């Protein structure tokens, strides 16, 4: 039986420990210093686009999100987080808000922005007050691993659907088997899989993800040459989104409430734990990550930029393809900024023709890398808690999975300390005192 100290492993050493890291957190030179090779960092730059592109594309087509504005603001976010954290910290869409926004009863742009601002405001308060750090420090590792496992497997299952089946991204539904041949055929996606596997293990620092992404980018123009005629030069005009009181109510109830558990668990807790696993000398602070999400959205959502957060899947993907420092996301920021300033919203025509099968391949590796973080469970008890949390999360929601995992963990801890026997003995003693005295 494991010791109590092993059963409850704090995820960080405490708030004082994170304060000692403030100088490193603010080190500009360290954030953008090359940790491996330039090609590796370039490969890691596109590691999270398997999740970014489908969601931003769906929001643009269904809800009228301005892609040019989103590209520019997320480029600024990428550069800022790369500077502040010194790791390839991803900037990804808020997935629950996006899912509600493109549902059968879609949200308007003001409602989407209200949902993002409400979620971000809550995270900003939790981070600034230190409550997020306290929550992170006390949360059992096995529960965090369950959240990571469920998110990783969810990405992997979605990736397999992207590869096998044709996708209607605006509706989020599959529409029949993918043809074997063609510019977005099954053969193209299946060819990318062994290429990434072989090149990633060759030791030659081949930026496999970047090469696959560039092939997909070129194929956009081959699939539809008329794209060139539809492109417009220049950024999208910057406009302030007017949010009414009704927009706030709808956005909070339909968007923010389901998003908050996912943001806390996956965008903050799981990201911080994964950063410690991948970068032991650069584990980020839960308070800093939480505040980062809040500030990003309170800057950009007022101008119609897509609500964003950080994500463990994106971090796993960028690490898997070579990202080791803030330089990786700086390269991504430069690419986004260039596309946003040069093509603006018309860049949507290019993304609309990007081969979905290739996006699935990139997403598959991200999901598997994230799920593999759960391999360090030391005994059956921890594995049991992790698997319960992951199973419930995948079939229901991350919040319910987290709750079930936490309850199971506490019950097992009570059994370990024999609390049940003590409780029954106390009840028996009270019963005897009642009847015989």
Calculate the CA dihedral of residues 39, 29, 280, 273 and round it to 10 degrees. -90
> SS3 of 379, please?
coil
Collapsed DSSP state (helix, strand, coil) of residue 177 = strand
Rounded CA-CA distance 107/97 in Å is 9
Q: 304's torsion region: left (phi>0), alpha (psi -120 to 50) or beta?
A: left
DSSP string, 78-90: HHHHHHHHSS---
Dihedral angle of Cα 379, 312, 388, 405, to the nearest 10 degrees: 90
Give the pLDDT of the chain (437 residues) as one tens digit per residue: 344 443 433 333 333 444 444 444 445 656 777 778 889 899 999 999 998 999 999 999 999 999 999 999 999 999 999 999 999 999 999 999 999 999 888 999 999 999 999 999 999 999 999 999 999 999 999 999 999 999 999 999 999 999 999 998 887 788 899 999 999 999 999 999 999 988 875 555 788 999 999 999 999 999 999 999 999 999 999 999 999 999 999 999 999 999 999 999 999 999 999 999 999 988 899 999 999 999 999 999 999 999 999 999 999 999 999 999 999 999 999 999 999 999 999 999 999 999 999 999 999 999 999 999 888 888 899 999 999 999 999 998 888 999 999 999 988 887 776 655 655 666 666 666 655 55
CA proximity to 190, closest of 211, 212, 210? 212
Please give the Cα distance from 399 to 344 (Å, whole number): 37
* CA 14 – CA 179 distance, rounded (Å): 53
Instruction: Determine how β-strand 165-168 pairs with β-strand 92-93.
Output: unpaired
CA distances from 94 to 36, 252, 373 (A): 30, 14, 22
Coil/strand/helix, residue 28? helix
Cα dihedral across residues 54, 104, 367, 265: positive or negative:
positive
pTM: 0.86
Q: Is 231 left (phi over 0), alpha (psi -120 to 50) or beta?
A: beta
DSSP bridge partners of 309: 92
Residue partners of 54: CB distance under 8 A and separation at least 6: 162, 167, 169, 356, 359
Element (H, E) at 152: helix 141-164
């Amino acid at each position: 039986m494991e010791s109590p100290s092993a059963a409850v492993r704090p995820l960080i050493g405490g708030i004082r420990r994170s304060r000692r890291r403030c100088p490193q957190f603010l080190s500009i030179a360290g954030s953008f210093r090359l940790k491996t090779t330039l090609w590796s960092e370039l490969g890691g730059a596109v590691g999270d686009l398997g999740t970014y592109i489908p969601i931003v594309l769906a929001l643009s087509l269904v809800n009228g999100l301005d892609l040019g504005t989103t590209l520019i603001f997320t480029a600024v976010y990428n550069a800022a987080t790369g500077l502040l954290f010194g790791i390839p910290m991803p900037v990804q869409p808020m997935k629950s808000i996006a899912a509600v926004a493109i549902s059968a009863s879609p949200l308007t742009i003001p409602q989407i922005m209200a949902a993002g601002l409400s979620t971000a405001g809550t995270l900003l308060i939790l981070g600034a007050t230190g409550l997020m750090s306290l929550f992170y420090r006390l949360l059992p590792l096995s529960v965090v691993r369950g959240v990571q496992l469920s998110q990783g497997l969810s990405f992997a299952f979605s990736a397999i659907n992207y590869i096998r089946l044709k996708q209607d991204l605006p509706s989020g539904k599959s529409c029949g088997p993918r043809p074997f041949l063609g510019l977005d055929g099954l053969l193209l996606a299946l060819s990318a899989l062994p290429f990434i596997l072989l090149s990633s293990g060759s030791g030659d620092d081949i930026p496999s993800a970047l090469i696959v992404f560039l092939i997909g980018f070129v194929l956009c123009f081959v699939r539809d040459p008329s794209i060139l005629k539809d492109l417009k030069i220049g950024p999208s005009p910057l406009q302030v989104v007017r949010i009414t009181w009704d927009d706030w109510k709808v956005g909070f109830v339909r968007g923010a409430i389901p998003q908050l558990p996912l943001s806390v668990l996956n965008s903050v807790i799981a990201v911080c734990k994964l950063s410690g696993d991948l970068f032991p000398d650069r584990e980020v602070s839960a308070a800093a990550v939480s505040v980062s999400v809040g500030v990003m959205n309170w800057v950009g959502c007022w101008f119609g930029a897509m609500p964003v957060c950080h994500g463990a899947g994106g971090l796993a993907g960028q690490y898997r393809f070579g990202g080791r420092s803030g330089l990786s996301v700086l390269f991504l920021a430069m690419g986004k900024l260039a596309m946003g300033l040069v093509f603006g919203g018309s860049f949507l025509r290019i993304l609309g023709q990007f081969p979905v099968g290739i996006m699935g391949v990139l997403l598959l590796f991200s999901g598997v890398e994230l799920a593999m973080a759960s391999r360090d469970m030391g005994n059956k008890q921890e594995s049991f808690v992790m698997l319960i949390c992951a199973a419930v999360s995948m079939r229901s929601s991350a919040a319910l999975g987290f709750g079930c995992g936490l309850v199971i963990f506490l019950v097992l801890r009570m059994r370990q300390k024999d609390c049940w026997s003590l409780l029954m003995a106390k009840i028996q003693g009270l019963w005897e005192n009642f009847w015989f005295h």
